[in-house]
Amino acid sequence: MGNTEQLIKTLTEDAAKVRVAPHPFTLSIKWTGAAAVYLAVLLAVSGLRPDLMHAFDLPWFAVELASLLGIFIATTVGAALLAFPDLHQKRGIVFAPLVMFGLFLAVIFFAWNADRPPAPLPAHTFECTSCIILVALPPAVWTFYTIRKLASTHYYLAGCLAVLSAFSIGALWLRLHEVNDSIAHVVEWHYLPMLAAGFIGVWLGKVLLKW
């Protein structure tokens, strides 16, 4: 009897302490804070577009930025919830990105119609997409790394939202940095690649998050 009690005591003492997983909202706040610092550092290094105040005079520029920020918040919270098998019983919030993307499409539609006569196209093209991807890499890595340590069973959607969240950071940075008022260019080289990024995120979720 004494040996059994001693064995139980020894096993109990040797057992590794299990860290409690953070609440999804706490996790998303941490990601958002890290993204805010990251974006501030990037803008401090690259600089804000010199005509930023003039850009805010344009009818839909501020609304575009606000809706893009909404996409970032919705995808970040959604990715945090999807890191847990039961979504913390907040399944409805996971679909918030669909609402934000719908609003974003409406904003782009009105901005496109308001761009009369069309603003001149910048000389560059795919360079914008490349810059957004490079900026999106660090937040994508830290988001996937964190989700990987948890227990996501929704790895396809979690990967998709993680990549979209990171991509939206890059898109925000470029809109605040690049002197460009052409909505046609922005749609083609900033936002259409976001669709491809979402599909890549689905694949990355299967590769990196499946367990």
Q: Which two tokens stand for residue 187?
A: 């749609």
In a domain, 103, yes or no: yes
Q: How many helices (H) and strands (E) does the chain have?
A: 10, 0
In a domain, 10, yes or no: no
Rounded CA-CA distance 31/150 in Å is: 15
Rounded CA-CA distance 209/211 in Å is: 6
- pLDDT at residue 165 in the model: 97
In a domain, 6, yes or no: no
In a domain, 1, yes or no: no
In a domain, 4, yes or no: no
In a domain, 49, yes or no: yes
In a domain, 44, yes or no: yes
- C-beta separation of 63 from 107 below 8 A: yes
Q: Over its length of 211 residues, how does the chain's per-residue pLDDT go in tens digits? A: 556 666 556 655 555 555 667 888 999 999 999 999 999 999 999 999 999 998 898 889 999 999 999 999 999 999 999 999 888 888 889 999 999 999 999 999 999 998 888 888 888 889 999 999 999 999 999 999 999 988 888 999 999 999 999 999 999 999 999 999 899 999 999 999 999 999 999 999 999 998 7
DSSP of 74-109: HHHHHHHHHTSTTGGG-HHHHTHHHHHHHHHHHHHH
User: Which residue from 76, 66, 89 is spatially nearest to 30, judged by alpha carbons?
Assistant: 76
CB contact set of 58 (below 8 Å; sequence gap of 6+): 181
- pLDDT at residue 194 in the model: 94
Task: Name residue 106's amino acid.
Answer: A
Rounded CA-CA distance 76/136 in Å is: 13
User: Which residue from 93, 73, 65 is spatially nearest to 28, judged by alpha carbons?
Assistant: 73
Number of compact structural domains in the chain: 1
Domain that holds residue 62: 23-209
In a domain, 169, yes or no: yes
* Residue given tokens 């990549």 in the structure block: 163
Give the 3-state secondary structure percentages of the chain, helix then strand then coil, rounded to 5: 75, 0, 25
CA distances from 209 to 87, 123, 142, 151, 204 (A): 15, 39, 13, 9, 8
